[in-house]
Amino acid sequence: MTEQIISADIVAKHNASRQADLTRDYDALGERLSRRGIDIAAILDKVSKFNVAVPSWGVGTGGTRFARFPGQGEPRDIFDKIEDCAVISQLTRATNTVSLHIPWDKAEPNRLKQAASRFGLGFDAMNSNTFSDAAGQKQSYKFGSLTNADAGARSQAVEHNIECIEIGKAIGSKALTIWIGDGSNFPGQVNFARSFERYLDSAKEIYKALPDDWKLFTEHKMYEPAFYSTVVQDWGTNYIIAQELGAKAFCLVDLGHHAPNVNIEMIVSRLIQFKKLGGFHFNDSKYGDDDLDAGSVDPYRLFLVFNELVDAELNGAEGFDPAHMLDQSHNVTDPIESLMLSAVEVQRAYAQALLVDRKGLEGFQEDNDALMATQTLKTAYRTDVEPILAMARLNAGGAIEPVAAYREAGYRAKVAAERPAVAGGSGGIV
């Protein structure tokens, strides 16, 4: 029996006061969609199966390089983090996996497994950390990890990634995500080709340790912490890596890791077409790697990304199974509330993309009817799918309004009393 952190009575009371309105809204939407030839039950079914992983590092308050303002009742260790993730999952029913970051979340694998399965949670991709120095490590990553000029630092970074695979194997994960901070701050500081050669050599060593049923995700990022050049700076370099490594290697797209105005949905399409899209780190941004809540600034872009994903899903694109993960930093909100809403925003974009009249769109494209083509997307995007999302949560035992239920339950005040404030903690900007 799966344990529930928020009392079932509180959730039941919350839902009881809203269920009649929801049923009316759902039926009305169903009627409107049926006029467009869409079966709401089929959309509900797909939305109900949708899952996005919560990053363990996201449940702590994030920060910037200027300051971090801790919240109340912050998780003290990975076991507190798993409990916070369980709350998100219980109320949204859209986040049944957690993505771990090593060494931040290092613990005895059996304990990790038990802690998660208590709440019906599993583990998504493992994340290695060679962008900061862990206590007691021999070599520093100040001048890079997988591409460091020093062979000792490179092999230490390779070993760390292999250790992440080993921990992942013990807890049921099936993927490793590598993001490195390697690059340079000055022109001339590194030789571009030599750095990338070292990256490929190091990554090949890690790839050799990857089990057959695992995937390796490599994540590109334009800049930061290196500000002049970054070794894995864009999707082109990332695609080369995936090609060089082999069939188990895929590109991970973090929405915040591109220059402003870059057409990310088109990058997604290219990676799908050439079978190298591994998955996503969802978040939103205005200027750079802002790590803002998914869909908070540009929900239409999130929809356009999902438009590509649904197109591939409906076309039965070979081997198409991208991982969905959130990767955000919550500096001014309660991280649990932000993560719940972000999971719902990602799910919303998926639901809206399912409503696109694809046959109609193709016809407008073939007829060069630009106006009607773009209106076809807008029609889907403008549809308020909230009743579908809320019904999916209700049917699965979640809350019709997750944030309201969370506040009614008083979870934050409760853990604030149990978890004394700790200094420091990781910011979580990846």
* Residues in touch with Mn ion (CB under 5 A): 254, 281, 327, 430
Report residue 278: phi and psi, to 5°: -90, -40
Report residue 212: phi and psi, to 5°: -60, -30
Q: Which is nearer to Mn ion, 289 or 401 (CB)?
A: 289
Report residue 161: phi and psi, to 5°: -65, -40
402-426 CB burial, b ≥16 within 10 A, e <16: bbebbeebebbeebeeebeeeeebb
Q: Which is nearer to Mn ion, 101 or 281 (CB)?
A: 281
Closest approach of Mn ion to the CB of residue 327, in Å: 4
Closest approach of Mn ion to the CB of residue 231, in Å: 16
Closest approach of Mn ion to the CB of residue 281, in Å: 4
Residue type, 166: E
Rounded Cα gap, residues 351 and 347, in angstroms: 6
Q: Which is nearer to Mn ion, 254 or 284 (CB)?
A: 254
Q: Which is nearer to Mn ion, 84 or 254 (CB)?
A: 254
Rounded Cα gap, residues 270 and 325, in angstroms: 20
Q: Could you write out the DSSP letters of every residue in 275-308?
A: T-EEEEEE-B-SSSS--BPTTSS-HHHHHHHHHH
Closest approach of Mn ion to the CB of residue 305, in Å: 15
Closest approach of Mn ion to the CB of residue 373, in Å: 32
Q: Which is nearer to Mn ion, 170 or 262 (CB)?
A: 262
Report residue 189: phi and psi, to 5°: -60, -40
Closest approach of Mn ion to the CB of residue 177, in Å: 8
Give me the helix-helix angle, 151-171 and 109-117, nearest 10°. 40
DSSP state of 186: S
Q: Which is nearer to Mn ion, 96 or 218 (CB)?
A: 218
For residue 172, what are its two tokens? 């049921």
Closest approach of Mn ion to the CB of residue 291, in Å: 8
* Cβ pair 358, 107 in contact under 8 A: no
Closest approach of Mn ion to the CB of residue 409, in Å: 30
Q: Which is nearer to Mn ion, 128 or 352 (CB)?
A: 128
Q: Which is nearer to Mn ion, 388 or 430 (CB)?
A: 430
Q: Could you write out the DSSP letters of every residue in 51-77?
A: --BEEGGGGS----SS-----TT---S
